[in-house]
Amino acid sequence: MAEASGTARDPEAVSRFVEHFAAQLVEAGLARMPARVFAALLASDAGVLTSAELGEQLKISPAAVSGAVRYLSQVHMVSREREPGSRRERYRVHGDQWYEALTNREAIIKRWEDALREGVTSLGAHTPAGRRLEETLAFFEFVEKEVETMMDRWRAHREKRFGRG
Site residues for DNA per CB under 7 A? 31-33, 50-52, 59-67, 69-70, 82, 85-89
User: 87 or 160, CB closer to its own copies?
Assistant: 160
Contact call for residues 116 and 132 (beta carbons, < 8 A): no
- Answer with the entry of its own copies, DNA, none that 35 interacts with (C-beta below 5 to 8 A by kind): none
Decide: 37 and 58 in contact? Cβ < 8 Å. Answer: yes
When computed from its CA atoms, the radius of gyration of the chain, rounded to whole angstroms, is 21
Where would I find the beta strands (DSSP E) of 30-82? 48-50, 79-82
Closest separation in Å from C-beta 65 to DNA = 7
Q: Tell me if residue 60 falls in helix, strand or coil.
A: coil
Instruction: Please report how close the Cβ of residue 105 comes to its own copies at its closest, in angstroms.
Output: 7
**Which among 38, 46, 40, 48 is positioned nearest to 77, based on CA atoms?**
38
Q: CA–CA separation, 77 vs 34, rounded Å?
A: 10
- Residues in contact with its own copies by the rule CB under 8 A: 2, 4, 9-10, 13-14, 16-17, 20-21, 24-25, 27-29, 42-47, 93, 95, 99, 105, 108, 111-112, 115-116, 118-119, 122-124, 127-129, 132-133, 135-136, 138-139, 142-143, 146, 150, 153-154, 157-158, 161-162
Which partner in DNA, its own copies, none is near 66 (CB below 5 to 8 A by kind)? DNA
